Chain A
Amino acid sequence: MAVKTATQSTPVSVPQADMHWLWGFVKHHRGAAIASILSGVLGGFAGAGAPYLIGIIIDNVGEGITRNQLLADIGLLIFIGAISVVAFFGQRYFSGTVAYSVTYDIQIKIFDNMLTLEQDFYHRYPTGDLISRMHSDITTIWRLLALTFTRGGVAITTLIVTFFLLGMTSLPLTILVFMVLAISTFFQLRAGIVLRPVFEKVQDQAGVMSAFVQDVVSGVQTVKTSGKEDGAATKFREENMQYRQDWLYFRRRNEPIGMLPNLISEATAGLVVVAGGVLALNGDLTIGNFAQFLIYLNLISNALLIVGMIYQRYQQTLGVLDRLTPLLQDATIASKQDASPLSQPKGEITFENVSLDLGDARLLNNISLTIPAGATVALVGPTGSGKSLLVSLLARVYDPTEGRILVDGQDIRDLDLDDLRAAIAYVPQTTFLFSQPLHRNVRMTKNTISDEELDRAIHISRVSNDLEQLPHGMDTLVGEKGVMLSGGQKQRVAIARAILRNSAILVLDDALSSVDTHTAADILGELRHVVQNRTSIIIAHRIATVKDADYIYVLDYGTLTEEGTHKDLVEKGGLYASMVQRELSTEIDIENIGEVGHAISE
């Protein structure tokens, strides 16, 4: 009976990226946040105070004041202006600090988490879409923060201060003004909610488009050799047009809402003139009061516009936070809290009734095997039989659906994940190189590695053979931005990388497939010394590569069908024997056997 796994009983926890989460980041920069809001309050007072003073000046001028009095008033106005500027500077400066620091913190937080997420996660999200989330979605958060901290404080203060200042002049007129202007704010708030899904659709489509570009450019050689540039362009046009449609749909609903405050404030100005005119005729209102109202109208409608905009961005940010949430999920494959260290691994490996389902397919079925420390075993089997999956379980690229895997007698899920992976030097089928100098691609983590060790690894893997072909030797930039290496060269870099790890377990997953037989044989010969004290698992198709292994496992359709030494298996006459037979019959030309036999015996 299969053992149910421990990790699967603990549910995957997904910390929701919500406003509370965002607030946690803002709190870290509360100094700047408070400073920007205080500057806003100061700016609100100064901004609202200036029109009040202007009204007084106009009335004074109307009553015929002296030039000195006028100059004194104007001096005061400039002073208030200076305060406004200081406040303005503070708002922009500090809000910038908050918004940029918080987005930076969020980027780091998310990326650090993504470094822990398992392959399963990366298989579910196209790379282009992830990039779009890491950039354009985080920018949306930045927009909310920047607007809130730059303009939020000043908008609220302006509204309060103007209400009181105007109320002192004429309460009925003030209430009228505020009520009319509130209509536009109401529309904005509603639009924020209604348009949120529409905005999200635009963001989603942007992600789709990025993902498509990323995909096509990554596979551009295939597109080109098949001459399918036109087809790709047509598909791109579809996505492109869809984006245009979504964008316009959003904007056409959003724009009128944005224009509303202005319209209403202008209408209100008319009302003020008519109603104020009546009041002025009665002597309740001076011409200066008029001027105040007209200027304040602008201020109030701008302030309300900002409040509405903040709310809209708040709604957009809610959508964006939902898109960021999956990137913050806890890794399902991670060290347990009470994980045991694996300090001096010996490299004994046991698979106990291991099965693996991916999607709805069972890819590995009830596999049990034990590899003693220091042994060299080989895995063979047809394409798609599950060899690579089996070894990837060992490094916990996936966790088995059923059963368990032990290293040195401990369930690997109980071990510290870093320790486990440090104990394994893994050469996967496809090699990945970073856009860095070659030596850093070989060194990977450890910069403490001595030059001798590096040289040895390069020699064993025969990377040394190519150095003179590279413009700067080991300093040559490789990877995406650098010099192109051939498939075989890349594989040998991967092997050098693995050798340098000096780990207890070495896994070679068809790691010599692109290396010519001659060099491959050289490397294998050298590796024999390297693997002497290591447990090694070799996946290969060539019998030559596997036949000297201590033990050979044969996989077929995810099931372990045969095991034994080369000799055992050949005698057994099963799948392996037929593989050997086939290879012998194709590799060795029976007609020429005598001739080659000569060559060997001579």
Chain B
Amino acid sequence: MRSVSDDRWEKQELDKEFRQQSEDLSDRYLIFMLLRFVAPFWRQLIAVFVMLLIVTGLSLLPPYLIQIAVDGPITNGDMQGLIPIAIVYFTSIPALFVLRFGQIYLLQTVGQDALVEMRQALFEHILKQDMRFFNKTPVGLIVARLSNDIEALTELLSTSIVIIATNLVTLIGIIGVMLVLNWRLALISLAVMPVILLASIYFRGKIREVSSRMHRIIGEYQAFLNEQFNGMLIVQLFNRQMISAEEFDDISSRYRQSRMDLRDSFTVYASFLQFMTSVGMALVLYGGGEGVLAGWATLGMLLSFIQYSQRSFQPILQLTDQFAQIQSALSAGERIARMLQVEPQIVDPAEPATLDTTRTHAITLDNVHFEYEDNTPVLRGVSLEILAGQRVAIVGATGAGKTSLAGLLARFYDVNEGRVMIDGVDVRDMTLDDLRRCVMVVPQSPYCFHGTIAENLMLFDKTVTYERMVSAAQVARASRFIERLPDQYDYQLLPGGANLSEGERQLLALARALIHNPHSILVLDEATSNIDTETEKYIQEGLEHILKNRTSLIIAHRLSTVRDADRILVMKAGQVVEDGTHEELLTLGGVYAELYRRQFEEVGLEVAKVHSETALKEHSAS
């Protein structure tokens, strides 16, 4: 179905992404990042470590006790001699249990606390990013970072660390004990260790690589699902199901393949280790057997060595089991670290200028150039002076740069050249908080959050009173439709605000703007385009009231919305081509007059004809 060039094109994009991702982040940086979140809990961690040492020590006791029992009382037939050994043995077991549980309890608590902070930090870090970041980063990918990747770290921080540490300490302990008990037998038992170590180093890189490929695919998988679920209506209306199914199949297959590849590397590695433990056991038996026969080892010693060497393989095998988990946690950590490293390009200045956010603002644009993508300029040298309290309308063809102008004013983006100033202060010299308090943009397709109407109006802000909310809704004329809804302000919105019409969502957004930015410059970016003329008339009344002491920019296509502005700007191909009042621009006879004439022609041709005929008669009569 797909054409070859499409696939190639897509592959190139993926390759590019892959290269970016595979630029190695050093393990040191990674560990440093993990430490940052774990460090506040150092006291608990020390307690965990102490417990771990005790646990490991205690757990090395049983085989030794058994050795004493077998070589002493049992061989000698001295039943009395067994009693003290048994007492030590049986008290150590519950003690072990309690300590182990305590250790896990503490560590899991610490782990969760650290993860809560990490998740929070990541979430807040993402919220801090500028709009360019959100334009380029699929939502599903962000969800994946905050869910799967953190989850992968959960296992590492709450379970794997205990297992790894316990096993490492146990391994060292066992090696020590064995060396003390019988160094010759110990060396024989440990003969396979270097081989295991080498194999682990070899497989580590391989598994990590496959694992990070797999996680990248998981991110893609979630981003794809997010897009499809959001666009399902279009998928179905345009019978695109086949293509969607194929695309999903492609991603799922690659997902499965990456997991299979991971399995392949891991299975070979684990099988090899398994075999090494068999060889190790054979060596102990052979060496021990020789030793007993030659008289440099006892039977009880052989018995305890068999247990010890089994216990020394166990940590290795368990570490192997953790291996894939650790690698996937590390690669998840790497992605989190990378995202935490992304610094927003739009940040507060080092020495912010102070700004009175309660006054009416003036706006100045000074030779502003702007582009989203290299070499495709959107604004080419816009210079403007908007006085405080002025109501300015912007008209122009789609793609003329109207929305970009609003985006620059709210500093969603920074200019490539020139300056945007509010009250004479460059927006780049203000704190973002101040700036956002003095500029509010109401977009054309306002987003509705999951929750009630009231929650959408209050927008996570608990300080907003009910009265303030209702009065804003009344001013924006949203109260009319809200009061008709079953639960009024407690009406539960469906995801995406699907149970409201587009126009109703726009009214809601207007009300929201009034609640949160009472004094700001108001930018209405086609904010009333889906509202019928009757409702718009109501809003106009409301707006009269709202805009009285504000500076406002109104981007609109309907000339009825534009006409009453103090000033009208006409944009074309990234430049302001006309600037003046409605009357002035009509007289000018340029783009605006042409626009107006066309709408006029369409709407009221007949009426206009009648009027113009009368006008002409009057004209000729006079």
Given contacts A54-B281, A85-B275, A298-B310, contact A225 B410 (CB under 8 A): yes
Judged by a CB distance under 8 angstroms, whether B146 is at the interface is yes
Minimum CB–CB distance for B466 against chain A, Å: 17
Judged by a CB distance under 8 angstroms, whether B358 is at the interface is no
Interface residue from B105, B399, B439 paired with A465 (Cβ < 8 Å): B399
Interface residue from A101, A358, A434 paired with B231 (Cβ < 8 Å): A434
Residue of B nearest to A484 (CB): B135
Q: Is the CB of B507 within 8 A of A383?
A: yes
Q: Is the CB of B86 within 8 A of A278?
A: no
> Taking each of A233, A236, A489, A518, which has the highest tally of chain B beta carbons within 10 Å of its own beta carbon?
A518
Residue of B nearest to A235 (CB): B460
Q: Which B109-162 residues have a C-beta within 8 angstroms of A?
A: 109, 112-113, 115-116, 119-120, 123-124, 126-128, 131, 134-140, 142-143, 146-148, 151, 154, 158
Please give, as numbers and ranges, the residues of chain A lying within 8 Å of B436 by CB-CB distance.
Answer: 224-227
Minimum CB–CB distance for B69 against chain A, Å: 6
In the bound complex, CA of A128 to CA of B245 (Å):
20
Interface residue from B101, B112, B256 paired with A248 (Cβ < 8 Å): B112
Q: Is the CB of B398 within 8 A of A514?
A: yes
Closest 9 A-B residue pairs measured CB to CB?
A597-B612, A81-B278, A488-B398, A231-B460, A383-B503, A219-B447, A544-B602, A594-B615, A96-B263
Q: Which B310-332 residues have a C-beta within 8 angstroms of A?
A: 310
Q: Which B251-304 residues have a C-beta within 8 angstroms of A?
A: 252-253, 255-256, 259-260, 263-264, 266-268, 270-271, 274-275, 277-279, 281-282, 285-286, 288-290, 292-293, 299-300, 302-303
Judged by a CB distance under 8 angstroms, whether A366 is at the interface is no
Minimum CB–CB distance for A383 against chain B, Å: 3
Q: Is the CB of B120 within 8 A of A237?
A: yes
User: Interface size of A by Cβ–Cβ distance < 8 Å?
Assistant: 195
Please give, as numbers and ranges, the residues of chain A lying within 8 Å of B151 by CB-CB distance.
Answer: 136, 206
Q: Which B489-535 residues have a C-beta within 8 angstroms of A?
A: 494-496, 498-504, 507, 509, 512-513, 516-517, 526, 529-535
Judged by a CB distance under 8 angstroms, whether A9 is at the interface is no
Minimum CB–CB distance for A67 against chain B, Å: 7
Minimum CB–CB distance for B98 against chain A, Å: 10
In the bound complex, CA of A108 to CA of B598 (Å):
53
Please give, as numbers and ranges, the residues of chain A lying within 8 Å of B410 by CB-CB distance.
Answer: 225
Minimum CB–CB distance for A191 against chain B, Å: 14
Q: Is the CB of B531 within 8 A of A383?
A: yes
Please give, as numbers and ranges, the residues of chain B lying within 8 Å of A178 by CB-CB distance.
Answer: none
Q: Is the CB of B285 within 8 A of A248?
A: no
Residue of B nearest to A497 (CB): B238
Interface residue from B94, B242, B292, B372 paired with A62 (Cβ < 8 Å): B292
In the bound complex, CA of A372 to CA of B619 (Å):
47
A227-B516, A486-B402, A542-B558 given; name 16 further pairs at CB < 8 Å.
A62-B299, A70-B286, A81-B281, A92-B266, A107-B248, A217-B126, A225-B436, A231-B461, A263-B93, A380-B532, A437-B6, A469-B399, A514-B557, A544-B599, A593-B611, A601-B612
Judged by a CB distance under 8 angstroms, whether A274 is at the interface is yes
> Taking each of B238, B292, B609, which has the highest tally of chain A beta carbons within 10 Å of its own beta carbon?
B238
In the bound complex, CA of A80 to CA of B282 (Å):
11
Given contacts A222-B512, A255-B101, contact A127 B239 (CB under 8 A): no
Please give, as numbers and ranges, the residues of chain B lying within 8 Å of A209 by CB-CB distance.
Answer: 146-147
Residue of A nearest to B223 (CB): A480
Interface residue from A70, A236, A384, A544 paired with B503 (Cβ < 8 Å): A384
In the bound complex, CA of A350 to CA of B395 (Å):
40
Judged by a CB distance under 8 angstroms, whether B96 is at the interface is yes
Minimum CB–CB distance for B616 against chain A, Å: 6
Q: Is the CB of B603 within 8 A of A104?
A: no
Q: Is the CB of A228 within 8 A of B285?
A: no
Q: Which B437-453 residues have a C-beta within 8 angstroms of A?
A: 437, 439-441, 443-450
Given contacts A213-B146, A244-B112, A266-B96, contact A426 B237 (CB under 8 A): yes
A74-99 vs B, Cβ < 8 Å mask (1 yes, 0 no): 10011011101100110011001100
Please give, as numbers and ranges, the residues of chain B lying within 8 Å of A592 by CB-CB distance.
Answer: 583, 586
Judged by a CB distance under 8 angstroms, whether A586 is at the interface is yes
Judged by a CB distance under 8 angstroms, whether B375 is at the interface is yes
Q: Is the CB of B278 within 8 A of A501?
A: no
Given contacts A50-B278, A88-B274, A437-B9, contact A277 B289 (CB under 8 A): no
Given contacts A219-B449, A251-B158, contact A127 B226 (CB under 8 A): yes
Please give, as numbers and ranges, the residues of chain B lying within 8 Å of A123 by CB-CB distance.
Answer: 494-496, 498-499
Please give, as numbers and ranges, the residues of chain A lying within 8 Å of B516 by CB-CB distance.
Answer: 226-228
Jot down 7 A-B pairs with beta carbons below 8 A, ordered by A. Answer: A93-B267, A119-B498, A134-B225, A226-B459, A294-B303, A578-B534, A579-B533
Residue of B nearest to A272 (CB): B66
Q: Is the CB of B293 within 8 A of A64?
A: yes
Please give, as numbers and ranges, the residues of chain B lying within 8 Å of A518 by CB-CB distance.
Answer: 397, 594-595, 598
Q: Is the CB of A213 within 8 A of B278?
A: no
Judged by a CB distance under 8 angstroms, whether B64 is at the interface is no
Interface residue from A131, A435, A484, A586 paired with B229 (Cβ < 8 Å): A131
Interface residue from A236, A281, A429, A593 paired with B612 (Cβ < 8 Å): A593
Stretch in A15-23, A156-164, A416-424 with 4+ CB within 8 Å of B:
A416-424
Please give, as numbers and ranges, the residues of chain A lying within 8 Å of B563 by CB-CB distance.
Answer: 586-587, 589
Please give, as numbers and ranges, the residues of chain A lying within 8 Å of B445 by CB-CB distance.
Answer: 430, 487
Given contacts A82-B278, A583-B560, contact A596 B586 (CB under 8 A): yes
Residue of A nearest to B433 (CB): A227
In the bound complex, CA of A595 to CA of B563 (Å):
16
Interface residue from B70, B100, B481 paired with A290 (Cβ < 8 Å): B70
A343-381 vs B, Cβ < 8 Å mask (1 yes, 0 no): 000000000000000111100000000000000000011
Q: Which A93-125 residues have a C-beta within 8 angstroms of B?
A: 93, 96-97, 100-101, 103-104, 107-108, 111-112, 114-117, 119, 122-125
Given contacts A383-B532, A518-B598, contact A447 B1 (CB under 8 A): yes
Please give, as numbers and ranges, the residues of chain A lying within 8 Å of B9 by CB-CB distance.
Answer: 437, 475
Minimum CB–CB distance for A195 against chain B, Å: 15
Residue of B nearest to A58 (CB): B302
Stretch in B74-82, B170-178, B415-423 with 4+ CB within 8 Å of A:
B74-82
Minimum CB–CB distance for A517 against chain B, Å: 5
Please give, as numbers and ranges, the residues of chain B lying within 8 Å of A230 by CB-CB distance.
Answer: 460
Q: Is the CB of A277 within 8 A of B82?
A: yes
Given contacts A131-B226, A219-B447, A383-B501, contact A93 B263 (CB under 8 A): yes
Q: Is the CB of A597 within 8 A of B281?
A: no
Q: Is the CB of A383 within 8 A of B481?
A: yes
Q: Is the CB of A587 within 8 A of B603?
A: yes
In the bound complex, CA of A382 to CA of B501 (Å):
11
Q: Is the CB of B97 within 8 A of A259?
A: yes
Minimum CB–CB distance for A315 against chain B, Å: 19
Please give, as numbers and ranges, the residues of chain B lying within 8 Å of A116 by CB-CB distance.
Answer: 241
Q: Which A203-250 residues have a C-beta within 8 angstroms of B?
A: 206, 209-237, 240-241, 243-244, 247-248
Residue of A nearest to B498 (CB): A123
Please give, as numbers and ranges, the residues of chain B lying within 8 Å of A130 by CB-CB distance.
Answer: 225, 229
Judged by a CB distance under 8 angstroms, whether B600 is at the interface is yes
Minimum CB–CB distance for B346 against chain A, Å: 10
Please give, as numbers and ranges, the residues of chain B lying within 8 Å of A259 by CB-CB distance.
Answer: 97, 100-101, 104
Given contacts A85-B271, A587-B604, contact A217 B139 (CB under 8 A): yes
Judged by a CB distance under 8 angstroms, whether A335 is at the interface is no
Q: Is the CB of B127 within 8 A of A216?
A: yes
Q: Is the CB of B237 within 8 A of A421?
A: yes
Residue of B nearest to A281 (CB): B77
Interface residue from B73, B245, B504 paired with A115 (Cβ < 8 Å): B245
In the bound complex, CA of A104 to CA of B256 (Å):
7
Residue of B nearest to A224 (CB): B436
Judged by a CB distance under 8 angstroms, whether A332 is at the interface is no
Residue of B nearest to A77 (CB): B282
In the bound complex, CA of A229 to CA of B432 (Å):
11
Q: Is the CB of A294 within 8 A of B307?
A: yes
Judged by a CB distance under 8 angstroms, whether B387 is at the interface is no
Judged by a CB distance under 8 angstroms, whether A568 is at the interface is no
In the bound complex, CA of A465 to CA of B607 (Å):
33
Judged by a CB distance under 8 angstroms, whether A582 is at the interface is yes
